[in-house]
Amino acid sequence: MYPLLDTINSPSQLRELEPKKLPQFAKELRNFLIESVAKTGGHLSSNLGTVELTIALHYVFNTPYDQLVWDVGHQTYAHKILTGRREGMSKLRMQGGIAGFPRRDESEYDAFGTAHSSTSISAALGMAVAARLNKTDRRAIAIIGDGAMSAGMAFEALNNAGVMDANLLVILNDNDMSISPPVGALNNYLAKLMSGRFYATARRAGEKVLGVVPSVLELAKRAEEHVKGMVTPGTLFEEFGFNYIGPIDGHDLDVLITTLKNIKLLDGPQFLHVVTRKGAGYKLAEEDPILYHGVGKFDPKKGIIAKSNGKPTYTQVFGDWLCDMAAQDSRLIGVTPAMREGSGLVRFSQEYPERYFDVGIAEQHAVTFAAGAACDGLKPVVAIYSTFLQRAYDQLIHDVAIQNLAVVFAIDRAGLVGADGPTHAGSFDLSYLRCIPNMTVMAPADENECRQMLYTAFKLDTPSAVRYPRGSGVGVSVQKKMQALPIGRGEMRRQGEKIALLAFGSMVAPCLEAAEELNATVINMRFVKPLDDELVAALANSHELLITVEENTIIGGAGSAVTESLNSQHINARVLQLGLPDIFIDQGDHAQMLADCGLDKNGIIKAARLVLGE
């Protein structure tokens, strides 16, 4: 079926192919990618855009000795296929299968584990410095997308790399720029020329000769920048100390391979600007790369057909609330670090464009930007994934909480996230939020409660957070009317005997199921901070066993808050804490992952009976 692809199981075998066969190999690889992802789901557009670049990198560089660091890593499926994991693609992002991102423990070709943005240049620079100190000729290559270049960390690394004596190659995969054929041909020609040894040697020789006359050297540099600036946007990167090359066509294998071979012979920090197209080679993905960015299973011939289970997702509940709240209060602004679609802000961005702020992949900036807006009377709502908020923890404490500013954090993807695995799991937010003074932290039990909690948070004049899981809830109808909840008060969902299940957020539903067999009391705690101390005390005095249940790490989480409350009230009670264990939980089906952690109906029942000796 794939005459070339079926014979290639490693980069060393790829390097044995004649150059004229590489376009056919790329076509087969792209077709395999489409068919494979259609069966498993995963990231599609970004991977289709880097097929030729991946082939060229492995063809030119001696991987895994030479190290490739893929930023984010959601464009590495072709890399995985080329490095002995073609068969593993059938279990991509499944339990026991290969990950959707690079992982060092998965393959020697995955030089650095990635999944969050803008880390590649820093990591590759560290590897390049290690190669220099170890006196090896090993090359380090960072492949970073144009979106990831918006993060401060990428520029911190560029700033540092420019003054390092290290052989680092940074490849900017730019998929937001189109190159018309004539300009593209000229750029490709000049890029080849600029990457050649003659050009680089001549420039260095000229600098030595002209160095005795500073004014002439300065004039020569300005002339070079002027000439190159006419056809390239590289002046910025050259100011960082890089030799800028490009832009070149990232789908032209001949240009890619020639340029990379020339760069391989150069010393010092090099910057290659490659222009690609997301979804390249699959018309539907080219036309709508956002829709085909992350996909479920689909028919490659028919494309994605929207399906709905009739229940709104928590993300949709948030998006609708945001628009409704904005209609009521002109002070509301929505802030997101490049997650408009994922965090549910599409409608808001269309209806309130002047109050919508996508700050790029810059979580730290997003939080402090919101803090600044709050200082002058606006009411910022920061829509952010739990795992991404971790990147702005200092700003959360220093810029928001210490100043007690009214910023609402709408925290999506709380708890386990299934196929995306440990890099994207929101396993720690209850722990890292509740220890911050001035914070109010809420966890909704269902969709309607999520809407009411968001309203409650917005009405506060202090920092607040509402954390909710990925996907749909239990199917409760969402009331249009908004009403603030009493701060720090839980609610009884079921009256029972002996056992009290203190459930937080998503764990209310399985606790209610388990309670039917245990005849247990079920409390929807609602607030992690402030905790309902009075209710906790009353339950301790009327039940033999308190069981806290949360989709968050047990360490320092909501259960710990309950035990702290009991200690502060000098109440001696029997408490069992259920939650996520002290490990990074691998990818898989979300329901099965919860079951494996004992956070489903059967797990809760088993744990309770074990403690009671039943």
Q: Would you state the structure tokens that stand for residue 475, as one six-digit string?
A: 């199917």
Residue 406 has pLDDT above 90, yes or no: yes
Rounded-to-integer distance, Cα 606 and Cα 614, Å: 9
Residues 26-71 have pLDDT tens digits of 999 999 999 999 999 999 999 999 999 999 999 999 999 999 999 9
Which is the catalytic residue, given 363, 447, 550, 551? 363
543-582 pLDDT per residue, tens? 999 999 999 999 999 999 999 999 999 999 999 999 999 9
Phi, psi of 553 (to 5 degrees): -55, 140
The full DSSP string for 350-413 is: HH-GGGEEE--S-HHHHHHHHHHHHHTT-EEEEEEEHHHHGGGHHHIIIIIITTT---EEEEES
pLDDT of 411 higher than 70: yes
**Quick one: average pLDDT of 196-205?**
46
Is 207 known to be catalytic? Answer: no
pLDDT beyond 90 at 175 = no
Of residues 414, 507, 425, 509, the one with CA closest to residue 465: 414
Per the annotation, the verdict on 470 as an active-site residue is no
User: What is the tens place of the pLDDT at every residue in 360-401?
Assistant: 889 999 999 999 999 999 999 999 999 999 999 999 999 999
The average pLDDT across 349-353 equals: 97
What is the number of other CB atoms lying within 10 angstroms of the CB of residue 204?
11
Q: How far apart are CA 527 and CA 579, in angstroms?
A: 16
Are 471 and 416 a contacting pair, CB within 8 Å? no
Whole-prediction pTM? 0.88
Please, is 109 exposed, middle or buried when counting C-beta atoms within 10 Å of its C-beta (0-12, 13-18, 19+)? buried
Would you state the pLDDT for residue 228? Answer: 46
Q: How many CA atoms lie within 13 A of 93 on its CB side?
A: 25
Q: Considering the candidates 391, 434, 451, 601, report the single residue annotated as catalytic.
A: 391
Whether 239 sits among the annotated catalytic residues: the reply is: no
Is residue 502 within 8 Å of residue 594, measured between CB atoms?
no
Task: Indicate whether 317 pLDDT > 90.
Answer: yes
Confidence tier at 191 by pLDDT (50, 70, 90): low
Residue 70 is which amino acid? W
Catalytic hit among 85, 93, 139, 278: 278
pLDDT at 180 (0 to 100): 32
- How many whole angstroms separate alpha carbon 228 and alpha carbon 246? 10
Q: What is the pLDDT of residues 439-471, one digit of tens each?
A: 999 999 999 999 999 999 999 999 999 999 999
CB atoms closer than 10 angstroms to residue 74:
24
- Using the predicted structure, report yes or no on whether residue 476 has a pLDDT greater than 90: yes
Contacts of 154 by beta carbon, 8 Å cutoff, 6+ apart:
118, 120, 121, 144, 148
The DSSP H or E segment spanning 125 is helix 120-133
